[in-house]
Amino acid sequence: MRSRLVAAGIGLIACLALPGFAAPLRVAVAYEVNNLTPYTPGLPETLLELVYDKLAAPSPYLGNARPWLATAIVPEGQDGKAWRIQLRDGVRWHDGKPFTASDVVFTLRYYRDGTPNRWTHHVSDTPKLTTIEPIDRLSLRIGCERPCPMFDRVTAADLVILPEHLWRSVKEPHLYHGPLIGTGPYRVSQLEAGRFLRLEANRDYFGGVPRVASIFISFIRNPATAFAALCAGELDLVAAPVPPELVDPLAHRKDLAMTGGGNSPVFGVELRVNFDRAPFSDPEFRRAIALAIRPGEVLQRVALGQGVVGPFPALASPWTKPGLRQPSDDPRAAAAIFDAKGFRDRNGDGLREDPRGAPLRFSLKVSSSEPLHQRAAEVVARQLKAVGFDVEVDVVDPARSRALYTTRQFDLLIDDVTPHNLADPDQLMQSVMYGYLWHEGRSYPELDALISQWRIASTVEARTQAGFALQELHSKAPVAIMLYYPKAHYAYRPQAYDGWRAIPGLGVFHKWSLLKFAGGVPAWAKP
Amino acid sequence: MGQTMTRAARIAGYIVVLWLGATANFLLPRLLPGDPVDFLIGDDAGRLTSAQRTAMLAQFGMDRPLIEQYRHYLSSIARLDLGTSLAHGKPVLKVIAARLPWTLLLVGCSIILAFVIGFVLACLFHWVERARTSSALMCTVVFFGSLPPFWVGMVAIAVFAVTLGWLPTHGAASLEEGVTWGSVFHHALLPVATLTLGYIPSVFLVARASLEDALGEGYVALARSHGATPLRVLLRQAAPIALRPIVNQFAMSFGVLLGGTVIVETVFAYPGLGLLLYEGILALDFPLVQGVFLLLVFSVVLANIAADILQVRLDPRLRIGLDAAA
């Protein structure tokens, strides 16, 4: 009897000692995790940030970034080109080694000079860091080639910091298979490629106590299977928005709860127009195409009305010009432009020919793995047919869709647009320089002038205004025509864990949902 | 001497098929627009300088001229070096070796089950002499075989996992318990059933036709005239002979089903070769896709060789035919 009481006591103490929920949390993600480094393709930053940290947090998208691994990021001088970064003391890597300024210096130089990854252009191009020097054990100084007034709230919130002692000798980072060590709230305890990733809480985390001791992350590509697994009780969260048609059925289940439901203002679905191809190279023609599109109808038919329509980039972003409008919903005005440009129906078949009288047929590419995009493509094709264009929807596999886009072999294409492109002010410059919205070398004097203005802007205000001017110019003849911004609902099992916080641009599965903050939940992390 | 020549010609034929398969395997992914850098870097790949792009491709040997890549590819195959996977950053052989057992389990179980069930149903078809019952059996089998595996898989998940809660929806083993026999068996049931259901009709149709041929043979009529019961005639006289084309199909089906696992493994998030291939195609991971396809080509050719050998063993008339040809 006495020994049972002792055992029960030990069990109780063990349970109380755990920071929250003792049972492993089971989460499904919609991609396969084969590795977990900033060089692993296709990983969302939220997953990466469970293991690694950035100098500032939570995100570069909403203008709310505050020092995180840093304690202060302050400008030096008046030209907006230099910053001094002071780091937290006492932070340790998961393997026990101390985190110091040399790790940050190494990481920034490694990103800038080494093999590129998805984030490196934030130190090698926009902005381009020319000096990255340590000052002492916990501080460093960086200098940019041109003004970089957004460094503290964008660049610093964009790049995860790597441990120098493990990465120093790595020449081919895409092939790295060393220990997965970060400073983040979770450490990798097991990664079985194709099956699961297991994370364990880092109880010494500087940013708060992880509320879940252990997380199993399964890789389920097919959303129907993932939500079936959630309903069957095999998962506690599907870290992907609920498809519109499943929102009602899941909302009625007593064992599940939903969070989010607000509009996801920095994630959307867009129609991309190939400005390298005639007639889309003509700004007036692009404007007419935008006018012919009725995004409200697309939203109703595809997302069952769950979302909002809006311009590119997202109005919810503090970096987007307030009141920005995208031309739309005016097929008559569109038809007038087409007529004036000489695109008329000369043979009476209901379809327009080009000014030389040759028939026109556009192809609208869409990925086979995106059923909602396919529905959107059908609606868009119909809307364009209503103004006299024959648009063929061409469903291709996702790799081909991506390849056709990057090699510019398309007329029109429907795809997702992520917060990185919708709400990152530095990324806007990348977009107009490297192919998404325009590209270097293609004549556009008006744009070139605005790019020059943007580059010399040395304050946040001046940079923001320069960004507004670029957005305004894009809206006149859009290359990215926003179709809709969907509402993002996330379904989970509240009995397992009920602390999910939907943050725009980050979803719910991120470290801000899993931390117990010392001074209460910050305003930006509240649902 | 003549027989040796015939065998040598056959082996040469297999080598040519392997070479053609390997060459197509090399060329097809490269005919796609774009390159794997687009996957490694994502949307920002467009901002890379050509020097950066070349340096990244060089890591995977893709910066060299096509003919040089091809030469390197063939010599690497000979050394059993299939290159490094872009998405995994590991040798392709290692990545495949980790996934192959799961697929072999699915395919092995499905082939055996499909053949046993298909053959039994074919015997039943001939044993039940009523035309209406036979037609119903035929329609049922063909109906189930015509259902898309994606749909069958989802319905199976909805019924047996979500509604009844008997079986798991996805994965190859329990995350909490780890890889135990019980857990692996439990997780394999639905994917195996889905694969099996799709393959039964082809076995059934072949078995039905070959049983019909066998039942028309003279020795079967002789057995009947000696008063053997229909069941005895079917099982003792016709079935052994009817097995020959089925064995042939058995060997051939290995390669076919290996390819067919792509859909089933994606639906059930089953970590086998099919899902690996799908992920490889999404990532334009040329080395990985080539590795998996090469395995498929080899397995089909090996299955053909095995079927040829088995045919001769099962039917001595073929050996006589071979000798006569020699």
- ipTM of the complex in this document: 0.84
| CATH code, domain carrying A324 | 3.10.105.10
Report yes or no on A51 lying in a domain.
no
- Residues A118, A144, single domain; the answer is yes
Report yes or no on A172 lying in a domain.
no
Please tell me the total count of domains within chain A. 3
Q: Which of A197, A222, A410, A438 is the mutation pick for testing B, counting most B CBs within 10 A? A: A222
Chain B residue closest to A418 (CA)? B43
CB B291 within 8 A of CB B25: no
Q: Which of A170, A225, A245, A275 is the mutation pick for testing B, counting most B CBs within 10 A? A: A225
* Residues in chain A closer than 8 A to B90 (CB atoms): 175, 177
Residue A428 — pLDDT band, cuts 50, 70, 90? Answer: confident
Helix (H, G, I), strand (E, B) or coil at A338: helix
Q: Which of B204, B191, B188, B190 is nearest to B143 (CA)?
A: B204
Chain A 51-80, residues with CB within 8 Å of chain B CB atoms: none
Chain B residue closest to A397 (CA)? B282
Among A46-55, B3-12, B249-258, the minimum mean pLDDT is found in B249-258
Left if phi > 0, otherwise alpha if psi is -120 to 50, otherwise beta: which for A433?
Answer: alpha
DSSP class per residue in A44-110: -HHHHHHH--BSEES-SSSS--EESSEEEEEEESSSS-EEEEEEPSS-B-TTSPBP-HHHHHHHHHH
* Six token digits for residue B261: 């696992």
Mean predicted confidence (pLDDT) in B200-207: 88
Q: Which of A369, A402, A409 is the mutation pick for testing B, counting most B CBs within 10 A? A: A402
C-alpha distance from A174 to closest chain B C-alpha (Å): 6
Quick one: pLDDT at residue B162? 94
- Residues A223, A338, single domain; the answer is no
Q: Do A116 and B87 touch (CB under 8 A)?
A: no
| pLDDT reading at A261 higher than 80 | no
Tokens 């000079």 belong to: A113
- Residues A472, A503, single domain; the answer is no
Task: Please tell me the distance from the alpha carbon of residue A523 to that of residue A506, in angstroms, as a whole number.
Answer: 15
**How many CB atoms are located within 10 Å of the residue B25 CB?**
20
- Residues A24, A65, single domain; the answer is no
| CATH code, domain carrying A102 | 3.90.76.10
Chain B residue closest to A172 (CA)? B59
C-alpha distance from A36 to closest chain B C-alpha (Å): 10
A118 CB near a chain B CB, below 8 Å? yes
- Residues A456, A424, single domain; the answer is yes
* Six token digits for residue A383: 């809307």
- Residues A227, A317, single domain; the answer is no
Task: Please tell me the distance from the alpha carbon of residue B105 to that of residue A14, in angstroms, as a whole number.
Answer: 40
pTM listed for this prediction: 0.86
- Residues A251, A277, single domain; the answer is no
Q: Which of A167, A198, A231 is the last residue of a domain?
A: A167
Helix (H, G, I), strand (E, B) or coil at A201: strand
Interacting residues of A356 by C-beta distance below 8 A, sequence separation 6+ = none
A407 CB near a chain B CB, below 8 Å? yes
Q: Which of B32, B35, B41 is the mutation pick for testing A, counting most A CBs within 10 A? A: B41
CB B196 within 8 A of CB B116: no
A371 CB near a chain B CB, below 8 Å? no
* Six token digits for residue A490: 């996330």
Report yes or no on A48 lying in a domain.
no
Interacting residues of B299 by C-beta distance below 8 A, sequence separation 6+ = B254, B255, B258
Interacting residues of A408 by C-beta distance below 8 A, sequence separation 6+ = A274, A276, A277, A435
Question: What are the tens digits of pLDDT across the range A32-87?
Answer: 898 999 998 888 889 999 999 999 998 888 888 899 999 999 999 889 999 999 99
Task: Please tell me the distance from the alpha carbon of residue A131 to that of residue A402, in angstroms, as a whole number.
Answer: 35
- Residues A306, A450, single domain; the answer is yes
Q: Do A125 and B47 touch (CB under 8 A)?
A: yes
Task: Please tell me the distance from the alpha carbon of residue A430 to that of residue A447, in angstroms, as a whole number.
Answer: 13
Q: Which of A493, A365, A361, A18 is nearest to A213 (CA)?
A: A18
Mean pLDDT for chain B overall:
83
| CATH code, domain carrying A516 | 3.40.190.10
- Residues A275, A411, single domain; the answer is yes
Question: How far is the CA of B150 from the CAs of A224, B94, B114, B264, in angstroms?
Answer: 11, 29, 18, 7
Task: Please tell me the distance from the alpha carbon of residue A166 to that of residue A368, in angstroms, as a whole number.
Answer: 40
Structural domains in chain B, sorted by start = 92-325 (1.10.3720.10)
Report yes or no on A176 lying in a domain.
no
Task: Please tell me the distance from the alpha carbon of residue B234 to that of residue A307, in angstroms, as a whole number.
Answer: 65
Share of chain A above pLDDT 70, in %: 93
Report yes or no on A174 lying in a domain.
no
* Six token digits for residue B169: 């929806």
Report yes or no on A398 lying in a domain.
yes
CB A264 within 8 A of CB A488: yes
Which residues constitute the domain of residue A503? 4-42+184-263+488-525
Q: Do A399 and B284 touch (CB under 8 A)?
A: yes
| pLDDT reading at B44 higher than 70 | no
Report yes or no on A50 lying in a domain.
no
C-alpha distance from A316 to closest chain B C-alpha (Å): 22
Among A193-207, A249-263, B215-229, the minimum mean pLDDT is found in B215-229
Question: What are the tens digits of pLDDT across the range A112-123?
Answer: 998 888 888 889
* Residues in chain B closer than 8 A to A400 (CB atoms): 32-33
Task: Please tell me the distance from the alpha carbon of residue A151 to that of residue A80, in angstroms, as a whole number.
Answer: 9
Among A102-111, A312-321, B314-323, the minimum mean pLDDT is found in B314-323
A410 CB near a chain B CB, below 8 Å? no
Question: What are the tens digits of pLDDT across the range A209-244?
Answer: 899 999 999 999 999 999 999 999 999 999 999 998
- Residues A249, A282, single domain; the answer is no
Q: Which of A147, A206, A187, A240 is nearest to A456 (CA)?
A: A147
Q: Do B269 and A219 touch (CB under 8 A)?
A: yes
Report yes or no on A178 lying in a domain.
no
Of A225, A232, A404, the CB nearest to B269: A225
Of B98, B162, B271, the CB nearest to A228: B162
Q: Do A433 and B284 touch (CB under 8 A)?
A: no
Strands A361-367 and A268-273, by their bridges, are unpaired
* Six token digits for residue A107: 């990481």
Quick one: pLDDT at residue B100? 92
**How many CB atoms are located within 10 Å of the residue A184 CB?**
26
Mean predicted confidence (pLDDT) in A468-485: 95
**How many CB atoms are located within 10 Å of the residue A239 CB?**
22
Residue B142 — pLDDT band, cuts 50, 70, 90? Answer: confident
What does DSSP assign to residue A19?
A: S
* Residues in chain A closer than 8 A to B55 (CB atoms): 115
Among A124-128, A153-157, A309-313, A521-525, the minimum mean pLDDT is found in A521-525
**How many CB atoms are located within 10 Å of the residue A46 CB?**
21
- Residues A145, A197, single domain; the answer is no
- Residues A422, A516, single domain; the answer is no
Mean predicted confidence (pLDDT) in A505-513: 90
Q: Please state the φ and ψ torsions of residue B37, each to the nearest 5 degrees.
A: -60, -35
For residue A345, the Cα-to-chain-centroid distance in whole angstroms is: 42
Helix/strand/coil (H/E/C) assignment for every residue in chain B: CHHHHHHHHHHHHHHHHHHHHHHHHHHHHHHCCCCCHHHHHHHHHHHCCHHHHHHHHHHCCCCCCHHHHHHHHHHHHHCCCCCECCCCCCEHHHHHHHHHHHHHHHHHHHHHHHHHHHHHHHHHHHHCCCHHHHHHHHHHHHHHHHCCHHHHHHHHHHHHHHHCCCCCCCCCCECCCECCHHHHHHHHHHHHHHHHHHHHHHHHHHHHHHHHHHHCCHHHHHHHHCCCCHHHHHHHHHHHHHHHHHHHHHHHHHHHHHHHHHHHHHHCCCCCHHHHHHHHHHCCCHHHHHHHHHHHHHHHHHHHHHHHHHHHHHCHHHHHHHHHHC
Q: Which of A172, A9, A154, A151 is nearest to A79 (CA)?
A: A151
